Chain A
Amino acid sequence: NAGVTQTPKFRILKIGQSMTLQCTQDMNHNYMYWYRQDPGMGLKLIYYSVGAGITDKGEVPNGYNVSRSTTEDFPLRLELAAPSQTSVYFCASSPEVTDTQYFGPGTRLTVL
């Protein structure tokens, strides 16, 4: 099993550009999460999903959108990139909310 994969690993965007961060898991997990990590701030939950077709906002959803059309994929969309979105983004999945979350390797995004 590959676990949780994220692409790309690194990306530089210009202000106002858009992009999609990809996340795929091959463990048939129901729950998937997107976090951003900023120095000294820990992980902040952006969006989460409890199954295909079901998504909900986390702590910091503004400026982001998600979809969950399949169990495996949970892409994160940035429509109008802003410097405040410079961060490291982690995707995670788990079978149930009380279970271990398995994290991807992260995407380092810089917006200039």
Chain B
Amino acid sequence: AQSVTQPDIHITVSEGASLELRCNYSYGATPYLFWYVQSPGQGLQLLLKYFSGDTLVQGIKGFEAEFKRSQSSFNLRKPSVHWSDAAEYFCAVGAGDDKIIFGKGTRLHILP
């Protein structure tokens, strides 16, 4: 069965700094991968997804992620964060069995 790990529970960055959120998955073949964002008291919104093709994926709100098969990773990046990016971020993986499994999330804090 597939699994996903987000090693960082909390991350704090200064406004304007770059950001990288880590995601590692476990699955034998090529999974399909997602990043979602959840603002306080809200449901989840898709930032980007990957299931084939170019391993560098562009998403909404200036986010991008890179699929690295050799490292079983799908890290999320943003070159310059804004205070409005403060939220919880979830990596999710699907593996061909109709289920999507979510990681435990990384809460992003932004320093002014």
Contact = CB atoms under 8 A, between A and B. Distances in A.
A50 B44 CA distance: 20
B42 A42 contact: no
Contacts of B78: none
Tell me what chain B mostly uses at the interface: helix, strand, loop, or mixed.
Answer: strand
Interface string B23-61: 000000000101010000011111001010000000000
Given A40-B9, A100-B49, A103-B43, A45 B101 contact: yes
A40 B104 contact: yes
Given A98-B32, A104-B43, A43 B90 contact: yes
Main secondary structure of the interface of A (DSSP, over half): strand
Interface stretch (B14-22, B64-72, B79-87, B92-100): B92-100
B43 A45 contact: no
Interface size class of B (residues with CB under 8 A): 20 to 34
A47 to B, nearest CB: 10
Closest 8 CB pairs of A and B: A103-B43, A42-B104, A43-B102, A100-B46, A103-B44, A42-B105, A42-B102, A97-B98
Interface of A: 31, 33, 35, 40-45, 48, 50, 56, 58-59, 90, 92, 97-98, 100-101, 103-106
Given A42-B6, A42-B105, A105-B43, 11 more contacts: A40-B104, A42-B102, A45-B102, A50-B98, A58-B99, A97-B98, A97-B100, A98-B51, A101-B36, A104-B43, A105-B42
